[in-house]
């Protein structure tokens, strides 16, 4: 078993430590972990890390899910702008 997982975030290939959450992978991509923006364009990132705040909603393999509650899987496709 590999110690890394590869997934695509907004078309970018990302490698993260196996067992990482999608929220952690988002941080690897942009350094902020932002998945959404406010109406003024400010980045919004996971606040609670346990699925309560809903700030990390993203599209994962065609379904809306919470990045903080989803473990990265090999070949997973994540869209933050969908």
What pLDDT score was predicted for residue 81? 80
How high does pLDDT run on average in the chain? 89
pTM of the model: 0.86
- DSSP-assigned letter for residue 71: B
Look at residue 11 in the predicted model and tell me its pLDDT.
93
Domain residue extents for the chain: 4-79
- CATH topology assigned to domain 4-79: Ubiquitin-like (UB roll) (3.10.20)
Rounded Cα distance between 6 and 54, Å, is 24
Residue 32: Cβ within 10 Å count: 11
User: pLDDT per residue over 7-42, tens digit each?
Assistant: 999 999 999 999 999 999 998 887 777 777 788 988
């Amino acid at each position: 078993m590999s110690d890394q997982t590869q997934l695509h975030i907004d078309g970018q290939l990302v490698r993260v430590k196996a067992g990482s959450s999608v929220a952690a992978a988002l941080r690897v991509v942009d350094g902020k972990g932002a998945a959404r923006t406010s109406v003024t364009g400010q980045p919004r990132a996971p606040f609670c890390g346990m699925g309560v705040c809903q700030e990390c909603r993203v599209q994962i393999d065609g379904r809306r899910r919470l990045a903080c509650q989803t473990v990265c899987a090999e070949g997973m496709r994540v869209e933050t702008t969908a």
